Each structure stands twice: as C-alpha cells, then as structure tokens.
Structure 1
Amino acid sequence: MTTLPPFHLAIPVHDIEAARQFYGGVLGFGRGRSDVRWTDWNVDGHQVVTHQVDGHTAHVAGTNPVDGHDVPVPHFGLVLSVERFQELAGQLREAGTDFVIEPYVRFEGEPGEQWTMFFLDPSGNALEFKAFRDPSQLFAV
C-alpha cells in the first residue's frame, strides 16, 4: 500500500470550546496551533482544522444505504489499523458517544471487509473511521 502525504481539512463548528473538548479530550487528537476561533488537530498525521462559525449548524444532506445501514452524507474520517480502530471505538464508548452507526464489520467475508463506525461531533459534523482486516483491500472491487 502506498503511503500518501498528509491531507488538510477545515471544518466549521458552532462552539470552538466544545470542539476542543471533543477532538482533543474524547478523540485524543493532538492539538496544534490555535487562536480564539480555530484549532489545528493532528488526526493521525493529517491536519484537521476546526473553525468557529457563529450560528453554524452542520447539515447531513441525506443518507445512502450501504450494507444495510443508512450512511450520513457528507462525512469525513480516516482509515486506521484494526488495533487503532478498536482503541478509538473504546474511547468513544467510554465517553458515552451516541453512534450513528455502531462499530461493526461491513462486507464480512467479501472483498473490502472492514470495521466501520459513524458518529457526530458536537456541531453535527458526521465522521467515519474504518479499518481493513487486509489493508491491501482498500480499493478492492
């Protein structure tokens, strides 16, 4: 599997302090540069920046059926190792996170078998984290 360079993603949040508690405290991502209305996060080597936008309410445009579940769209997230996925799922459960889709194995026994979970941040942004039993199956058809 080819290692890609880090990506950068900026997301709007309605409350920067709630975002700091969630991304730093619950998810455990390292905090980088910040100011009164924004914070950089080290999301497993990728840069995600939360920007406070007054009055912002995240909008899930809809859902798409995938493997018997309604996947929220739009969403973002990362592909993790299975070990890191299980660790993060445990952190989220400990924090009392309400999952949109509980952690489970999707496409079991098929090409692209993967663990996946969906949840919302405090501003309603949908996040997905997944892990492939066999990372070479990331783009399997």
Structure 2
Amino acid sequence: MSTTVSPFHIAIPVHNLDACRTFYRDILNCEEGRSSDHWVDFNFFGHQLVIHYKPKSTEDVHTNAVDGKSVPVPHYGVVLPWDTFQEFSKSIANKGVAFVIEPYVRFEGKVGEQATMFFFDPAGNALEFKAFKDMTQLFAK
C-alpha cells in the first residue's frame, strides 16, 4: 500500500443545506467550491467534502465507549498537525461550537499520543478532529 497521502472524497447527508453551508464555510473556514440547490462542495482541509440535501432522519445517535467517553458512530474528520489542532480547537470554541467530547489528549506520553475532539454539524453529523504528537505514530500499535 502506498504511503502517499491523497485527498479523499466524502459525501454526507444534511437536512438543512443553508445552515450546514454556513457552518462549514464560516465556522470551520472551509472554502466553498461548486454547488447546486441540493449540494455544496467544500475544501475540507485538503479533501473534498460534499454536503447533500436529504430529509431529516429520526434515527437515534449511536455511541461506543472509548476512554470512558461516548464516541458518536458514525463520525468523520481529519488528522491535523499538532499546533494546527490547538489553534483550531480554540477558534471553533470561540465561535460557540458545542463539543460532544471536549479537546483532550489520549495516550499521553505513550505510543500514539493524540489530541482529539468531537462535535456535531447543524444536521447532526458527528465530526472528530485529531492530531498526533508524532505523526509517524498514526498507525502505531
């Protein structure tokens, strides 16, 4: 398998296109790309994220226990450089984002030391952002 990093593409459902467009553009600072009346492309930290309109689901959020916290499943996000994560977490907190799991460090001083945080977009999609103290340990066991 190649170790070259390539952009990924992810499409997510949203029941409120305008609110999510504002969230990804103005809160997360993602550059908006192409769009129509049913979808919007964003540059999601170098990856292509497309929000697609879908009527609201009544499905409950599922969680799994990790480190004594309730991690929402499914979720998506990106791995940021350590310093970028610190700045980004402060920026979105200052913009009023409500964390499901506040930024914290897992495995401190151990293999795979990482900072992580979880929050929802306005459509209820769970996002995780994380950063590794040493990026070479991204897949370390």
Alpha-carbon separation, structure 2, partners of 1:64 and 1:55: 23
* Number of the residue aligned with 1:104: 104
Amino acid at match of 1:9: I
- The number of residues matched between the two structures is 140
Amino acid at match of 2:139: F
Report percent identity of matched pairs. 56
Residue segments in structure 1 that go unaligned for 5+ positions in a row: none
Q: Does 1:50 align with 2:51?
A: yes
Residue segments in structure 2 that go unaligned for 5+ positions in a row: none
Amino acid at match of 2:118: F
- Residues 58 and 123, structure 1, Cα contact 8 Å, conserved in 2: no
Equivalent residue runs for 1:20-31 within 5 Å: 20-31=21-32
Equivalent residue runs for 1:1-141 within 5 Å: 2-56=3-57, 59-60=60-61, 62-141=62-141
- Once the 2 structures are TM-superposed, how far is the Cα of residue 58 of structure 1 from its aligned partner? 6.5
Q: Residue 25 of structure 1: SS of its match in structure 2?
A: helix
Q: Residue 42 of structure 2: SS of its match in structure 1?
A: strand
Shift in CA distance, 98/52, structure 1 to aligned 2, threshold 3 Å: same
Give the TM-score, by structure 2 length: 0.93
- Once the 2 structures are TM-superposed, how far is the Cα of residue 95 of structure 1 from its aligned partner? 1.2
Give the TM-score, by structure 1 length: 0.93
- CA RMSD, 1 decimal: 1.5
Alpha-carbon separation, structure 2, partners of 1:81 and 1:95: 21
Shift in CA distance, 134/58, structure 1 to aligned 2, threshold 3 Å: farther
Amino acid at match of 1:44: F
